[in-house]
Amino acid sequence: SLNHSTAQGAINWAGHSYRNGLRVPVMFVCEDNGLGLSVPTPDDWVSASLAGRAELALRSADGADPVDVWRATLDLADEIRSTGRPGLLHLSTVRFLGHAGTDVETAYRTADDIAKDRERDPLIGAARCAVAAGVCDPDEVASWFLDQRATIRDACFELLDEPELLTADEVMAPLAAPQPTRAQQNQTPVLEASTGVSAGGTLQNGGVAGVGGAGGVGTGAGDAGERLTFAQTVNRALADAIESSHDVMVFGEDVGRKGGAYGVTRGLQKSFGVDRVFDTLLDEQSILGLALGAALNGRLPIPEIQYLAYFHNAEDQLRGEAATQAFFSQRQYLNPMVIRIAAYGYQKGFGGHFHNDNSIGVLRDVPGVVIASPGHPSDAAGMLASCIGHARNDGAVCVFLEPIARYHDADLHEAGDGGWTAPYDPAPIDVGVGRVHGDGTDLTIVTWANGLHLSLRAQRELAAEGVSSRVLDLRWLAPLPVGQLLAESGLTGRVLIVDETRRTGGVSEGIIAELVDGGFDGSIRRVTALDSFVPLGAAANLVLVGVDDVIDAAHQLLAT
């Protein structure tokens, strides 16, 4: 649909790229039947709306005349191939019957208009060409047409005996969740000391010696004991992915020369070149559209969306396109990708609702999409590696949510404790498996991302009061680690959900539903962000979850 923003964005992207000196050998085809559902298109609208696009080679043809279409297509294709300039073929066509089965076109079209369309039937146009070329005479064309009609009718009856989808499992087979490489769904792994977290569950003190500026590029080599921030860990993991496989592409707004708004991709373009790491124009629909096309052509794209709020500008590229490709094709077509999104709130001295956003309901609502949401650097590389592997092996669409506020943090409790850094560990972490911090018996705190930072701080303060708790970092929001959730909750009988998303439509609603459905009969309380957009400056603290909120909620839960 030429009037749709995605089409306009794609055409704009092609022209913009060509103007920047790139080859863009793309041919767009507009089949113009003069109608938008039931609404007539203004005369000459298509040609007039495209006339000002200087970087677009244009051709027009009568869609009812196959010779005209053939010549125009070849001519345009030759120009596109020779110049690298994008082009658009405008075909004047007809539409038979309504837009859809329920659309009765006689309700808004005159009999005369419908009759004129029948005279422009492309089958009749093809017959005229064949007769004019001496290939056959009119009687032979009519006989062939009737034979084909009978063949098609017979094929329709044969299809009646084809197997149908009769069970929900058959319908949902293309959406099958990834299987862990180990049977860990009901296990509760405790963090080891080598990850920067003690077996008792408290983040270890440790310096950050050897850690350079934010986003320093790495290839996974170097000092094995070097402690990295979250941003540095993601940077090194991306470098590993690009270096280890020719099909990986990293792209998005400012990711190349600048290295991203937060330096996460700094140095990658210099190390691997502009073919592997490159900037795009400022249009999220085009970024995800490029990922779709690249994935279908054998690449493994890792596009970056600069802020979670920006993703909402293009969410249909995920919901209506990427996530449905495998489903509606019975996995005959796959478009693997890992979409990195700088997400959530809690940025200090910066923000507003376009740069701090805690709404991920639209992501969790899309069937088959894997949602990774690491909080601590010790998990970031392994979870990213797992997403890349799952995308490559299973054709999955994965979303990797990175907490902006934790990108460059080094400490957890006190300045210099190094609690929010960790040695680089790229070992894949199974999809749908969480991580347990601590082994307390009074309270189970369930959280993820920024909530992990808040909860671990609250855990220490509660311990000083004599309250022993365990923190379950979900890590994966789709699929949720339901088995672990039930097991960890059952060990204490009290569950506090620390949810940085909103109270309405937030992740905690789904967590509570899983607990109830799973038969948990203990006490549940949740602390969430309020149903508000995130305001500027310190006012954000009024609607987001804080450590004090977690502690107060824990006291209330323990009192029940």
Residue 521 gets which letter from DSSP? -
DSSP characters for 405-446?
GGTT---SSSTT--TT-EE-------TT--EEE---SSEEEE
pLDDT bucket at 54, cuts 50 / 70 / 90:
confident
pLDDT of the residue at 232: 97
Q: What's the pLDDT at 499?
A: 97
Q: Are 259 and 271 in contact (CB under 8 A)?
A: no
Predicted confidence (pLDDT) per residue in 395-421, tens digit: 999 999 999 999 999 999 999 999 999
Identify the weakest region by mean pLDDT among 193-197, 501-505, 516-520.
193-197
pLDDT at 239: 98
Q: List pLDDT tens digits, range 333-373.
A: 999 999 999 999 998 877 778 888 999 999 999 999 999 99
Q: Tell me what the mean pLDDT of segment 498-526 comes to.
A: 96
Omega cis (within 30) before 479: yes
Query: First vs last Cα of the chain: how many Å apart?
Result: 58
Strand 397-403 relative to strand 337-343, pairing: parallel
Residue identified by tokens 């099958």 is 176
Residues 6+ apart with CB under 8 A from 123: 145
**What pLDDT is stored for residue 383 in this prediction?**
98
Q: Taking residues 90-113, report their average pLDDT.
A: 89
400, two tokens: 């990797």
* pLDDT value for 410: 96
The least confident of 1-5, 231-235, 258-262 is 1-5
Of residues 177 and 441, which shows the higher confidence score? 441
pLDDT number for residue 223:
66
Per residue in 207-241, pLDDT tens? 322 233 333 444 444 466 799 999 999 999 999 99
Query: Residue 177 has what pLDDT?
Result: 60
pLDDT on residue 176: 73
Share of the chain above pLDDT 90, in %: 77
- pLDDT recorded at residue 302: 98
Residue 363 CA to residue 205 CA, distance in Å, equals 35
pLDDT tens per residue, range 282-334: 999 999 999 999 999 999 999 999 999 999 999 999 999 999 999 999 899 99
Q: What is the mean pLDDT of the chain?
A: 89
Residue 194 has pLDDT above 70, yes or no: no
pTM of the model: 0.88
Q: Which of 295, 264, 269, 212 is nearest to 384 (CA)?
A: 264
In tens, the pLDDT along 468-480 reads: 999 999 999 999 9
Across 63-90, average pLDDT:
96
Q: Are strands 370-372 and 476-478 parallel, antiparallel or unpaired?
A: antiparallel
Measuring CA to CA, how many Å separate 274 from each of 22, 191, 499?
12, 39, 39
What are the residues facing 400 on neighbouring strands? Answer: 340, 372
Residue 179, pLDDT score: 54
How high is the pLDDT of residue 216? 40
Token pair 């970024």 is found at 287
In this prediction, residue 217 carries a pLDDT of: 41
Looking at residue 343, the DSSP 8-state letter turns out to be E
> Which residue carries 């376009």 as its tokens?
354
pLDDT at 164 over 50: yes
87: pLDDT strictly greater than 80: yes
SS3 label, residue 12: helix
